[in-house]
Amino acid sequence: MLGNLDNEVIFKKAFTNKIVFKAFVRDILGIEIEVDKIETEKKFEPKIGYIDFELDIFAESIDRRIVIEIQRVEYDSHFDRFLHYFLMLIAEQQKNAKEYNIDQTVYVIVVLTAPYTISEKNGKPILDEVLLIQLNPQTLKGEIRDLYGHQFVCLNPNHPDKDTPKQIRDWLDLIYQSIYNPARPSLNTENEGIRKAIELISFENLSPEERAEAKKKESARIVIAKIENANTIGIAKNLIDLGSDNGFISKATGLTTEQVEALRKTNLD
């Protein structure tokens, strides 16, 4: 029986282990790294960009040329937030720099455990398993000039893609099955990192303290979700009363048009 990687306590127990962390970075980014310390709830002093943000899991390679940040996201699937974290990690290097050189390569990996609720500007829903941002200039012919190497990777196992590389698929399977099939997961235990993660989050290997903390986090999340859902429904009902159409209400609240229509019928009863 696996612990749920959608739970903050379980997620951090797995990915702050050096074997798991290094294997995950290798398989997702294709780079080998050595890290000394893996931090959680990482903050920077002074604040970067006047915003006091916190990173779930943060590590620098021993040669201090690579910064890795793994961000687990619960409800907020807004890419503005992800992009801010990514750019601020790059900007943070300028605090003590005498010139504009950016010596460290920054990698941010975001793991989403729920389907996307966002769409492109044209309204098309985003249903991608892996999304990438790479900060390198390119010519008008589309030729990339490798100047920086900074990368942002967003993973969402709720939108499976047959073209996802096997080494990435292994980790997406681990995340997804820990949530939806924890009792009988089918995973690639030949991967040392996956095997170690399974060991760490197996229910029998969780201490009483870890189980209690995980339960407390889950209870808090359920309460927050209920409050947020109630607020969202309240806003939707007010917009219905004001005569807004389903499409507008859907964009304003994140509810589907089907959910809005159901609320509209409820209002008429």
- Cis peptide upstream of residue 46 (ω within 30 degrees of 0): yes
Quote the pLDDT of residue 159: 93
H/E stretch holding 135: none
Same domain flag for 137 and 247: no
Give the Cα separation of 101 and 185 in Å (integer). 46
End residue of a domain, out of 180, 206, 232: 206
For residues 125 and 93, the model is more confident at: 125
End residue of a domain, out of 172, 206, 240: 206
Confidence band (pLDDT; 50, 70, 90) for 220? low
Give the Cα separation of 171 and 155 in Å (integer). 10
Query: Is 96 within the bounds of a domain?
Result: yes
Same domain flag for 149 and 246: no
Provide the number of structural domains found in the chain: 2
With residues binned 3-state (H G I as helix, E B as strand, rest as coil), the percentages for the chain, rounded to 5, are 45, 20, 40
Quote the pLDDT of residue 4: 92
Query: Is 236 within the bounds of a domain?
Result: yes
Average pLDDT on 250-269 reads 74
Same domain flag for 98 and 182: yes
Same domain flag for 248 and 141: no
Give the Cα separation of 245 and 97 in Å (integer). 52
Same domain flag for 145 and 170: yes
Same domain flag for 96 and 168: yes
Same domain flag for 76 and 183: yes
Share of the chain above pLDDT 90, in %: 43
Same domain flag for 172 and 227: no
- Residues facing 59 on adjacent strands: 38, 68
Q: If you average pLDDT over every residue of the chain, what do you get?
A: 85
Lowest mean pLDDT among 64-73, 168-177, 226-235: 226-235
Query: Is 239 within the bounds of a domain?
Result: yes
Among 55, 66, 64, 58, which residue's Cα sits nearest to residue 32? 66
Question: In which domain, by residue range, is 231 found?
Answer: 223-268
Query: Is 254 within the bounds of a domain?
Result: yes
Q: Which two tokens stand for residue 172?
A: 């997406």
Query: Is 211 within the bounds of a domain?
Result: no
Same domain flag for 50 and 147: yes
Same domain flag for 231 and 188: no
- For the chain, the distance separating the N- and C-terminal CA atoms, rounded to the nearest angstrom, is 45
Query: Is 171 within the bounds of a domain?
Result: yes
Give the Cα separation of 226 and 35 in Å (integer). 39
Quote the pLDDT of residue 160: 92
Quote the pLDDT of residue 204: 92
Same domain flag for 33 and 129: yes
For residues 57 and 74, the model is more confident at: 57
Query: Is 218 within the bounds of a domain?
Result: no
The yes-or-no verdict on residue 76 having pLDDT over 70 is: no
Query: How many CB atoms sit inside 10 A of residue 94's CB?
Result: 13
End residue of a domain, out of 206, 236, 260: 206
Same domain flag for 90 and 146: yes
Confidence band (pLDDT; 50, 70, 90) for 81? confident
Query: Is 2 within the bounds of a domain?
Result: no
